[in-house]
Chain A
Amino acid sequence: MAATALIARTRDWAFGPILRGLLTGLVGFSLGAGFTAGVRALAGADAIAFGPVIFGGYWFGLAGWLLGVGVWRTWAREWLGMPVDWTMRNGWQRYFDFTTDHKVIGVQYLVTFLGMFFLAGLLAMLMRIEHLTGGQVLFSPSQYNYVMSLHGITMIFVAVAAVIGGFGNYAVPIMIGAADMAYPRLNALSYWLAAPVPVLLLATFFAGGFDAGWTSYPPLAVENRDGQILFNLAFITLGLSSIAGSINFIVTVTKLRARGLSFGRLPIFVWGVFAMSLLGFFFTQYVAAAMMMTLLDRLFGMVFFDAAGGGDPLLYQHIFWFYSHPAVYIMGIPGLALALEVITHFSRKPLFAYRWVVGGILAITALSAVVWAHHMFTAGLSDIELFFFVTTTELISIPTGLIFLGALGTIWGGRLWLRTPMLFALAVIFNFLIGGLTGIFLADVFTDIHLQDTFFVVAHFHYTIVGAGIFGLFAGIYYWFPKITGRSYSEFWAKLHFWWMFLGFNMTFLPMFWLGLNGMNRRVASYPSDLEALNVVASLGGFFLGAGFLVFLANIVVSWVRGPAASANPWRARTLEWHTSSPPPVENFESEPEVVGHPYDYGTPGAVHAMLAGAEEEGG
């Protein structure tokens, strides 16, 4: 790419980029909607039908939004041979701009998706209020299903994007000794493409909501209220964002590693993000296809999933789960890898069986392509298909076990330093054990037929996705907080948050296993009253869990504003992000890093992972 002339935008208002984006987005939407309505009028159809007009307007609106928020200034003008009017801002304003610094983008992802996490958490509170009694408390069944669906999809998006988008962006380039991602502008594009997603989800409220759950199976998703259309558009949009992000990570890790950093020396978190990007860049297209086919059925008279017209609703399930099973790993593995990273540093020991753990991650990556139909055991598969998918699914427990043993072997006999990141990392292992063991019953046809669509499933996936993914997210927040902000958080309040969250989490979700075993269905507003006692326990646990985040927020906000300054390497960890200042400068290192050893050689006297040119021996 040609060197770009950077001209300072001296008098741009902080919210200028976003406002320009909204304006051009509105123009684009009007054009697209008008065009669609015009074509429909010419074809003799109802011109201003909500669905098609929103659909047509959305894509033009999205393009307009992206152009206005920054693509035009930083990118399109260069293509057209015009001078590029763009510079990076330094203060807080850069977080509201189309900024290419991967550290800024990481924080943008983190804050956005934490916001969505709290929003979806509030929705979960509402669901737990509804379940305080077996009868009706707050919602009609259809309102309940809207709250449940919105909670589900919002949390799914958080799980997909918070760790990879947040810490993948923030930490991976520094950990491999790069100045930035391979495509910094594409990286900014990924974030600003994800930004409309929460807006779309909230807008479903004004379009009647939707009630088909995060899986949104047809025929319901073809026939229900119009909020469903916005849901499908949101899923496609986040999909595009994660495809672009995945490609960026794959190329970054492949091409931009520091001198001496072979794949055999890659920190385990980088491995996790890299492997999940291999899933994300390819498989995400299938969920985009499934969402698109639903919209084609719904808006354009096609019959992919319409049995009456010769289509087949099962086709949706195949395509949807072909992505969404791998997506489960995209949600879980980065958090798990982050936990391994933290466990290694806080055990002061080499990561046990590093090569086997990496092999485990890669084997999961490969196997995840051939297990999808274990979500369809009750959908009427043939015996041969059942046999195949049970076998492949059970096979996954082998690589998963390798990762688990890697964690245990590292902890074993280690000098554990029980600071907050480590507590969260250990909780990941604990929760994941419960999530993994209960998964065995769902992987087996005989038990799954009984447990399918019950709260047992709800408990199981919360133990894996929240237990590993979200606990991993919080391990990362505390671990990298000093690096990101240059300040220290309060250890006391952080530990309080940990114990609060850990107890609240288990109190909420452990009873759900029993609820499911006793036949409580998921996705229902009311239930038999003999299940009330356990539901009350789960609800109280939920409220307790939710309240604990106030501690987290207070600690983080106060520490960020006026916590004591943090040193470059408060954890005395060895990976490259700790070889630079807190926070790191733009482009991360004052001089070029060179990797000379394994990242986890704790306990070996004189072992060095990396050196900066011109600096004395670092880390240790």
Chain B
Amino acid sequence: MAAITHTGHDSRAINSMGLWLFIASEFALFSAFIFARYYLTGRDQPEELNIGLGYAITVVLLSSSVCAYLAEQAIARGDRRRFLRFTLAAIVLGTLFLVGVGLEWREAAHSFPPPDLYGTVFFSLTGLHASHMVTGLLALLFIWVQGRRGRFDAEAHWGVTGVVRYWHFVDLVWLIVFPTLYLV
């Protein structure tokens, strides 16, 4: 019978290393699209983007990350109520961010009607990021539902740690994507 883990090996350390490698790999994917942005449009600064909205959703996303952090801290102490509350807050704020991106897209669809070079880099980068946001939100939703059903505690909460780390990564990527598209 195949064992799924091996005796004598720290499965948390193994999972953690794999997640770091996955994040590094995802970083490579984003870097290709960010490179394309600079390669194709240099130091162009389109006037049409709604920078105010950009700042607003950035703040929303950062708050979501903070909530996710607090949720992980809570479950590490065994405080399930706090964990569930902050996870839910992170989900709501993350969804709000996506709504903001949707609004931005609606304006951009008028500003950069296809085929348009800045539209290409704008929609591909924000779209790639949004698809990672959706994955992250589904993962947060998953740990929230599982947490409500009594899973995870102070000793065993790798699932939470992993999802929250991924969430921080997606937020960090936005902190690169945002200035790349709006500020440079």
Name A's B-contacting residues (CB within 8 A): 1, 3-4, 6, 79, 81, 87-88, 100-101, 178-180, 182-186, 243, 247-248, 250-251, 254-256, 281-286, 288-290, 293, 296, 300-304, 306, 309-312, 315, 318-319, 322, 586-587
Q: Are B14 and A283 in contact, with the CB atoms below 8 A?
A: no
Which of B24, B29, B36 has the most chain A CB atoms inside 10 A of its CB? B36
Residues 1-40 of B contacting A (Cβ, < 8 Å): 1-6, 9-11, 13-14, 17-18, 21-22, 24-26, 28-29, 32-33, 35-36, 39-40
Given contact pairs A247-B18, A285-B28, A302-B114, A179 touches B6 in the complex (Cβ within 8 A): yes
The 0/1 profile, CB within 8 Å of A marked 1, for residues 126-153 of chain B is: 0000000000000000100010010100
Q: Are A285 and B4 in contact, with the CB atoms below 8 A?
A: no
Q: Are B28 and A311 in contact, with the CB atoms below 8 A?
A: no
Across the interface, name the chain B residue whose C-beta is closest to A310: B117
Residues 103-120 of B contacting A (Cβ, < 8 Å): 114-117, 119-120
Instruction: Give complex CA distance A248, B17 in Å.
Output: 10
Instruction: Give complex CA distance A178, B9 in Å.
Output: 10
| One of B1, B10, B13, B35 near A319 (C-beta < 8 A) | B35
B123 at the interface (CB under 8 A from A): yes
Q: Are B6 and A309 in contact, with the CB atoms below 8 A?
A: no
- Beyond the given pairs A183-B14, A250-B17, A315-B36, 18 more chain A to chain B contacts, judged by CB atoms under 8 angstroms and listed by A's residue number, are A6-B1, A81-B149, A88-B2, A179-B3, A180-B6, A247-B22, A255-B14, A282-B24, A296-B124, A300-B114, A301-B115, A302-B114, A302-B119, A303-B117, A309-B120, A315-B39, A322-B32, A586-B2
For B6, the chain A residues whose CB sits under 8 A away are 178-180, 256
Q: Are B116 and A288 in contact, with the CB atoms below 8 A?
A: no
Instruction: Give complex CA distance A107, B29 in Å.
Output: 31
25 A–B pairs (Cβ distance < 8 Å), ordered by A? A3-B4, A6-B1, A81-B146, A100-B4, A179-B3, A251-B14, A254-B17, A256-B9, A281-B24, A285-B26, A285-B32, A289-B36, A296-B124, A302-B119, A303-B117, A304-B40, A304-B124, A306-B115, A310-B40, A312-B39, A315-B40, A319-B32, A319-B36, A322-B32, A586-B2
Instruction: Give complex CA distance A289, B10 in Å.
Output: 34
For A179, the chain B residues whose CB sits under 8 A away are 3, 6
Instruction: Give complex CA distance A295, B127 in Å.
Output: 14
Return the 10 tightest CB-CB contacts between A and B, nearest first. A289-B32, A310-B117, A301-B114, A285-B28, A285-B29, A302-B120, A309-B115, A247-B21, A303-B115, A282-B28
Across the interface, name the chain A residue whose C-beta is closest to B117: A310
For A290, the chain B residues whose CB sits under 8 A away are 32
Q: Are B2 and A309 in contact, with the CB atoms below 8 A?
A: no
Instruction: Give complex CA distance A100, B5 in Å.
Output: 11
For B9, the chain A residues whose CB sits under 8 A away are 255-256
Given contact pairs A247-B21, A302-B115, A288 touches B29 in the complex (Cβ within 8 A): yes
Given contact pairs A1-B5, A286-B32, A296-B124, A243 touches B13 in the complex (Cβ within 8 A): no
Determine how close the nearest CB of chain A comes to the CB of B92; give it in whole angstroms: 23
